[in-house]
Chain A
Amino acid sequence: MLQKIYDWIDDRIDITPIWRDIADHEVPEHVNPAHHFSAFVYCFGGLTFFVVVIQILSGMFLTMYYVPDIENAWKSVYYLQTEVAHGQIVRGMHHWGASVVIVMLLLHTLRVFFQGAYKKPRELNWVVGVLIFFVMLGLGFTGYLLPWDNKAYFATQVGLEMAEQVPLIGTQLKILLAGDATIVGAQTLTRFFAIHVFFLPAALFGLLAAHFILIRRQGISGPL
């Protein structure tokens, strides 16, 4: 049945080359943990992506309950945590996943660094990777404020002070982030929410696409 549906579509729009191009490629022996167990270090990039998928899915579902408004943000999170079945688990996935993403990202970076895999011709992909790292930190920073509890509020206060230390444009940068010159409040929360769920994920998707296209074009670096 499934085969028939697939054939029907494939007859008309020839999708086989599309997924073959994405999925069907050789895994060199030196990156296959079945051959050399130490090759598990090559898994960290994929694991980072896997956790990112978890973050995207759990985040999408969390917005069904969350409201980015200073009157209701904390209450909606509390309601989700205490009244909604599995709400605690989904928020837990997003909360812990945020940390795991950074850990995996760091391990992936260390592997690439110590194997010298960033060297010519892959310097550009290293740069893209560093940009992804910055976007991830931005996602962590903006997401931290959203529960609108004391920890979130004061952490953001500190983060904004740090932004203010940037030479020349510090003050403007801080106002741009906070939405107000002095208050960390209603406008800050909506801004951080918008950055967290629209702007940074959009940037992340673009950078991830570039990262993956480059690795497919250039191939995995050779054995040490």
Chain B
Amino acid sequence: MDLILPDLGLLFWTGIVFCCLLFLLAKFAWKPILNAVNAREQKISEALELAVKTQAEMKALKAENDQILKEARAERDSILKEAKDAANHMIEDAKTKSKVEAQKIVDAARLNINSEKAAAIAEIKTHVATLAIEIAEKVVRGELASDEKQKALAEKLAGDIQMN
């Protein structure tokens, strides 16, 4: 029977010991332990969050990098194309210009040659005329040196006319 009857002395000591235990543990054990555990849990969850955020940031950064690279590549291509175009254009221009210039030179040369030729021909003509007159004069002088000759000539001329 006394197994299920409470005992005053033990109740007294249990009360004292349990209350002391509760106070000491709450103040010097549970508080620092739970604080540390909570702080660590906080730290871990923060670190996890940060990791996720960093990953997203990395992803965005990579996408941005890719975009920039793509743009740079496109720009390079366009610059190259422009340069090529410009070069072609310049070459084309130079070709055209040089052709025109050459044509001009050729034209000018031709003009010069023609005028020189004309002048030369005119001069030759003048010389030939003078020469012919001189020769004719000499011939005439020779022919007309005696009367017989003058007479023969006149006759011949008259013959030519008659024949006509």
**A, B bound:** no
Partner-B contacts on A (CB < 8 A): none
B binding-site residues for A, Cβ under 8 Å: none
